[in-house]
Chains A and B, each alone.
Chain A
Amino acid sequence: MTASTVLRRLLQALPTLFGVVLIIFVLLRVVPGDPISMMVTGESTPDDIARLRRAYGLDQPIPMQFALYLAALARGDFGTSITMKQDVLGLVLQRLPATLELALCAFVLATTTGMLAGLAAVRWRRHWPEAAVEGASAVALAIPEFLWALILVLALSVALPLFPSSGRVDPVVATAFHTQFYLLESLVTLQPHLAAELLSHLALPALALAIPLAAIIARVLRTALLEAMRQDYMLLAQVKGLSPNAALLRHALPNALIPTVTVAGVQVVLLLGGTVLVELIFAYPGLGNMLYRAAVNRDLPVIQGVTMVFSVLFVLLNLAVDLSYALLDPRIRQA
């Protein structure tokens, strides 16, 4: 896939993003609940309320509000948070790195364990590893990530106090950072004690997000590997005298990765959505947590800003998945 294809895909994403903006904007204004009623106290007069509505542009008809919002977006102005009185874009960008680090850790954890489990199940077919992987992945999939979050807190934070149950970092060390990418910064600046501290906070939320994804990857990879093993090229690999391990890793795996990426790619997008509840449970200061608070407070500009950022991430992730097909499958690369 060439640079022009990537560019075309990104341009094609613009109508999608417009649709997202439109739907979120309209939905937020037709559902009951009004940001102003969350702000006013019993002593506010109707005049005060009318003034506030005017100040946030809520007195205009909805199409007019939407036009004004789009015009502001085009200027890079995502609006001002009603509850926090701060620029939405600034708020979102401040929280985004925390969510990205969490999602990335969960992704790495899920792909490594999922792939190893899938490979083990096929390598030791009809022996206990296959049964163990099948059983464990069934359980892992049956329980949603927010329940895993609660189970992990109970098991590894309360019953066995191994990991902290909330937050991103010990507030004492938080001042040491120059960027919001705490984990990345601690790794780049070679501060292993900080990285360890961050990882201990990341462990449980990342695990909660990773468990169902790892289970899906293990299952799909196992099925895809078994399918590959039935092909003639695996017979020929055997006839060439390759060991079972070499045949599995060099011949079956590259083929089996193609369907695995198809399924896992969709699931990674869902993982991003899963961060909302998991961040809430672990009081993790990311975008999901901010989105939840904004929804409770009817902070419309923040809700719009966060959903916008999530939509952009989805578009980029889907593009990355499509690009990885081309990397894995020469038949697609040349098509």
Chain B
Amino acid sequence: MTPLLRVEQVRAALPGGRPVLRGVDLAVAAGEVHGLVGESGGGKTMLARAVAGVLPEGVRVTAGRIGFAGQDVLALPPRSRRALLGHSIAMILQNPSAALNPVLRVERQLAEVLRAQGRSRAEARDTALDWLERVQIRDPARVLGQYPHELSGGMCQRIVIAMAFACQPQLIIADEPTTALDVTVQLEVLRLIRQLQRESGVAVLFVTHDLGVVAKLCDRMSVLFAGRVLECGSVAEVFARPAHAYTAALLAAMPRYDEPERGLHPVPTALVEQLWADTAEADRAAAA
């Protein structure tokens, strides 16, 4: 069976030519929740944005293929590629307060998604109310008329989540959706995403640096380092038998609240340095 999303040997570079993705392979099946983990600067967000086709200005995909629902999206003209967004692919961003437009009411921002699906104004309002209830917002009618600065970060993120699911997409890319939230709110938001995902059966590419979140939420996972996937497999498998030394070190570095006497075990510097040295070697080989 062909996966919903298949990323093959994708390379991307910053404006100066510095590589950020160095031949990434990734496959996400329909309905699967796929965790994408790795340290900061490893290319997680770049990969997520490459898949959605919304890379920052100047960053280019230089090689590889991104297949989505049987189409080669990199070969699509910009208009068709844009047509995927809001219909087949949706995104949840890291900072919910910044993701909502400060000068527009919640209703307008939520309705924008619904109107794009051809709903009338009145239908869009009803559906928007319905979605706010589904993301467990109290007093949804009042919230619709409010501006983002009147809402808490958790509420803003619920609204962004509502927008993503309201598109009824096949794939949702969640880029660290809980990182900017309070710990207590994080858990609620994760449960909400999991619940909505189960109800809709949408595939989720969940970008995070928190392995605890991966363990709770994901079916499969990929470990990204320096723009390459080091390891990929089911969450249970990878947690039980990590194949790569870096994955093992990441797992060992997870703080355990149930065993406080164990202490903290950061990823060994020597290992990270060795991996970066290998990366530099590979870059030189690729350039030659």
Does B98 have its Cβ within 8 Å of any Cβ on chain A?
yes
Name the contact of A239 in the complex, choosing from B90, B103, B150 (C-beta under 8 A).
Answer: B90
Q: Would you call B112 and A235 a contact (CB within 8 A)?
A: no
Least CB separation from B93: chain A residue? A232
Docked complex Cα distance between A329 and B147 (Å): 10
Does B1 have its Cβ within 8 Å of any Cβ on chain A?
no
Does B198 have its Cβ within 8 Å of any Cβ on chain A?
no
- B78-118: which have CB < 8 Å to A? 82-87, 89-91, 93, 95, 98-104, 112-113, 116
Docked complex Cα distance between A238 and B52 (Å): 10
B90: chain A residues within 8 A (beta carbon): 239
Docked complex Cα distance between A331 and B149 (Å): 7
Name the contact of B113 in the complex, choosing from A231, A240, A258 (C-beta under 8 A).
Answer: A240
Name the contact of B116 in the complex, choosing from A233, A240, A251, A330 (C-beta under 8 A).
Answer: A240
Contact residues of A: prevailing secondary structure: helix
Does B160 have its Cβ within 8 Å of any Cβ on chain A?
yes
A254: chain B residues within 8 A (beta carbon): 101, 103-104
B54: chain A residues within 8 A (beta carbon): 235, 238-239
- A245-301: which have CB < 8 Å to B? 250-251, 254-255, 258
Least CB separation from B160: chain A residue? A236
B52: chain A residues within 8 A (beta carbon): 239
Least CB separation from A255: chain B residue? B103
Range, interface on chain B: 20 to 34
- A207-248: which have CB < 8 Å to B? 231-233, 235-243
Measured CB to CB, the closest approach of chain A to B1, in angstroms, equals: 27
Docked complex Cα distance between A125 and B99 (Å): 23
Does A49 have its Cβ within 8 Å of any Cβ on chain B?
no
A258: chain B residues within 8 A (beta carbon): 103
Docked complex Cα distance between A13 and B46 (Å): 54
Least CB separation from B79: chain A residue? A243
Does B155 have its Cβ within 8 Å of any Cβ on chain A?
no
A58: chain B residues within 8 A (beta carbon): none
Docked complex Cα distance between A240 and B83 (Å): 9
B93: chain A residues within 8 A (beta carbon): 232, 235-236
Q: Would you call A331 and B104 a contact (CB within 8 A)?
A: no
Docked complex Cα distance between A232 and B109 (Å): 14
Measured CB to CB, the closest approach of chain B to A333, in angstroms, equals: 9
Does A328 have its Cβ within 8 Å of any Cβ on chain B?
yes
Name the contact of B86 in the complex, choosing from A241, A255, A331 (C-beta under 8 A).
Answer: A241
B101: chain A residues within 8 A (beta carbon): 233, 237, 251, 254-255
Measured CB to CB, the closest approach of chain B to A110, in angstroms, equals: 23
Q: Would you call B104 and A232 a contact (CB within 8 A)?
A: no
Which of A231, A240, A328, A334 counts the most B-chain CB atoms under 10 A from its CB?
A240
Q: Would you call A241 and B102 a contact (CB within 8 A)?
A: no
Docked complex Cα distance between A136 and B102 (Å): 32
Q: Would you call A329 and B116 a contact (CB within 8 A)?
A: no
Name the contact of A240 in the complex, choosing from B95, B112, B149, B150 (C-beta under 8 A).
Answer: B112
Q: Would you call B83 and A241 a contact (CB within 8 A)?
A: yes
Measured CB to CB, the closest approach of chain B to A57, in angstroms, equals: 55
Name the contact of A233 in the complex, choosing from B84, B87, B100, B147 (C-beta under 8 A).
Answer: B100
Q: Would you call B86 and A330 a contact (CB within 8 A)?
A: no
Name the contact of A329 in the complex, choosing from B82, B84, B103 (C-beta under 8 A).
Answer: B103
List the interface of chain B (C-beta within 8 A of A).
52, 54, 82-87, 89-91, 93, 95, 98-104, 112-113, 116, 147, 149-150, 160, 163, 167
Could you jot down 12 A-B contacts, CB within 8 Å?
A233-B98, A236-B93, A238-B85, A240-B113, A241-B84, A242-B86, A242-B112, A243-B82, A250-B112, A251-B104, A254-B101, A329-B103
What 3 pairs across the A-B complex have the smallest Cβ distances? Answer: A241-B86, A232-B98, A241-B85
